[in-house]
Structure 1
Amino acid sequence: MSEKLQKVLARAGKGSRREMETFISAGRVTVNGKVAYLGDRVEGNEQIKIDGHSVSLQSKEDELCRVLMYNKPEGEMCTRKDPEGRPTVFDRLPKLESGRWIAVGRLDINTSGMLLFTTDGELANRLMHPSQKVEREYAVRVFGEVTEAMLQTLRAGVKLEDGPARFQKITYRGGEGRNHWFHVVLSEGRNREVRRLWESQDVQVSRLIRVRYGDMELKRQLPSGGWTELNLQDVNYYRKLVKLPLETQSKVKVDEKAMDNAKSRRIRRSVKKHQHRNQQATRRRRS
């Protein structure tokens, strides 16, 4: 049975469906030597290339869906390679024999916290798509006076330059002086949406941390800059959430311990080694 070309490419780990649609529209994809167009369908036995490089196709049955949870620090870019040489969220991820890690959405350079990666482009696409209404929760520190009228406005909705937006839930978490912490919930991931909503009320966001995606929270013992691979149960939570078939296998061993203090320390040491190598490389470039 034929499938949309962008869906097949996403499953092969070349990016999300949205990214693949962009590639196709730009004329970067060929099928059996001919430039592909949006709307093209394939059977899976064609010769498909991106920028002249052959794509190794995978059937739905052959691909093993893997998901990582990453604790993004501030200062990292959500891109595979930054032209200015800044660190990216992909720098420390484990190497794959085939395919590649796909980020589930983005966090801007000044935002930290929970970022998911997967090898399954269809899962990434559905988790990001507004139609699925997957909740994202953020811890936000704001600077400025916040009134109940402002909060009601943010719950009811304001008009941003790319359309109406609102917080589904706002919870006050304390603060001193003009600095206050709130937890806010959205079910879409537009560019800088949390910051822009607060800025619409003339309030400045001084810290922003994503703490939850769906019902799964950022693991407290996962250090900044560290990642952990989700087990079969957690992978299938996300697959079920967006109505995808459940997996029966996982790279994570059934008896492997969950995040504990020892594992957290190992990850923290690995992060420090990576940061040290990055600092040395930066000094070499500057010298």
Structure 2
Amino acid sequence: MSEKLQKVLARAGHGSRREIETMISAGRVSVDGKLATLGDRIESDKSLKIRIDGHQVSIAESATEVCRVLAYYKPEGELCTRNDPEGRPTVFDRLPRLVGSRWIAVGRLDVNTCGLMLFTTDGELANRLMHPSREVEREYAVRVFGEVDDDKIRQLSKGVQLEDGPASFKTIKFAGGEGINQWYNVTLTEGRNREVRRLWEAVGVQVSRLMRVRYGDIQLPKGLPRGGWMEMELPAVNYLRTLVGLPEETVTKISVEKDRRRTNANQIRRAVKRHSNVSGSPRRTGGSSSSRTKDNSGATTGRSGTPTSRSGAASTRAGTSTGRAGTSTGRAGTSTGRAGTSTGRSGGGSKKRGS
């Protein structure tokens, strides 16, 4: 049975479908010596010579190939592209090196947005997690500048018309702040370009800071410094696969020890600081964003001035291998976050989220 070329290449781990469609449109993919075009279909069981940028690639699915997923804390100032012609830092710069595979970004964050990004070696998983038909929740902590009244909240919940169609927030929760600088936690079930910022701008409110704190039930890992990564263990990987209708994996491959160039949290932080100084990307102020403490109510306080999500969704902390210390936390299962208890600092004082 024939399948679309981009689907076959994505399944073989050569990128997400969206990335491969871009490659095809740019004339970078050929099949048996002929340039591929969007819409081409191939028989994946036939012997075909498929090349990307002149290099022959395999489309065979290996029985030993293991789906891997990383959680990465993207800092502001990094681009979501593999290579930048101007030499600016990208989200791929600090990821562990792979042999015979590549990391595929699950969606994008714009250059001025920080927070959780997921990367996987499975192109089909990446495509399904990004596709709006799956309605996978994304949660953001947003600091806004401007008057926010009940009417604007209703508009954002009901829906506003953007240039690429109607859009709305699934949930909006006040998370602290005073005056015209306030924090909100918002959720979406799609990932259109700059959608969070454009929604607020549509009601006359500017976003002064934006941070993704959750994708599905995967929270931004506690204690992970900006520019740091953690590899998900089997329960977390299978949660994501089940979420989008893919079969579960039976084995894991936490073999990143050979790839690690930083062996503890302090080394990561020093490397991030050097990277930021060289690239000119925004530096962290006011303490480490990864230093979070819990109060007696279970609320999480972000010392960087951003509230961390406890939206009530199950937080999948199902064992993660950290890129900091080469150890696995091995905490299988899930923990339930409490809604309306996240504390963020805005201005100089901290306010608890409204419940």
- Normalised to the residue count of structure 1, the TM-score between the two structures is 0.89
Match of 1:267 in 2: 265
- Structure 2 residue 210 is matched with structure 1 residue 208: yes
Q: State the one-letter code of the partner of 2:238.
A: N
d(CA) in 2 for partners of 1:64, 1:265: 24
The partner residue of 1:80 within 57, 69, 82 is: 82
d(CA) in 2 for partners of 1:272, 1:56: 39
SS of 2:199 mapped into structure 1: helix
- Structure 2 residue 152 is matched with structure 1 residue 154: no
d(CA) in 1 for partners of 2:279, 2:198: 35
Q: How many residues align structurally?
A: 273
Match of 1:28 in 2: 28
The CA deviation at 1:13 is: 2.4
- Structure 2 residue 173 is matched with structure 1 residue 171: yes
Match of 1:260 in 2: none
SS of 2:154 mapped into structure 1: helix
Identity of aligned residues (%): 62
- Unaligned 5+ runs, structure 2: 256-261, 281-355
- Unaligned 5+ runs, structure 1: 254-263, 283-287
- Structure 2 residue 70 is matched with structure 1 residue 42: no
More helix by share: 1
The CA deviation at 1:281 is: 8.4
SS of 1:154 mapped into structure 2: helix
d(CA) in 1 for partners of 2:233, 2:5: 30
The CA deviation at 1:278 is: 6.9
RMSD of aligned residue pairs (Cα, Å): 2.1
Change beyond 3 A, Cα 1:267–1:11: farther
Match of 1:185 in 2: 187
Contact 1:223–1:267 (Cα < 8 Å) also in 2 = yes
Contact 2:30–2:52 (Cα < 8 Å) also in 1 = yes
Q: State the one-letter code of the partner of 2:123.
A: G
Q: 1:26-77 deviations in whole A, cap 9, x for unaligned?
A: 4322222222232312324311101211113331634211000001111111
SS of 1:149 mapped into structure 2: helix
SS of 1:117 mapped into structure 2: strand
- Normalised to the residue count of structure 2, the TM-score between the two structures is 0.73
Contact 2:225–2:268 (Cα < 8 Å) also in 1 = no
Match of 2:145 in 1: 143
Match of 2:294 in 1: none
SS of 2:18 mapped into structure 1: helix
Q: State the one-letter code of the partner of 1:173.
A: A
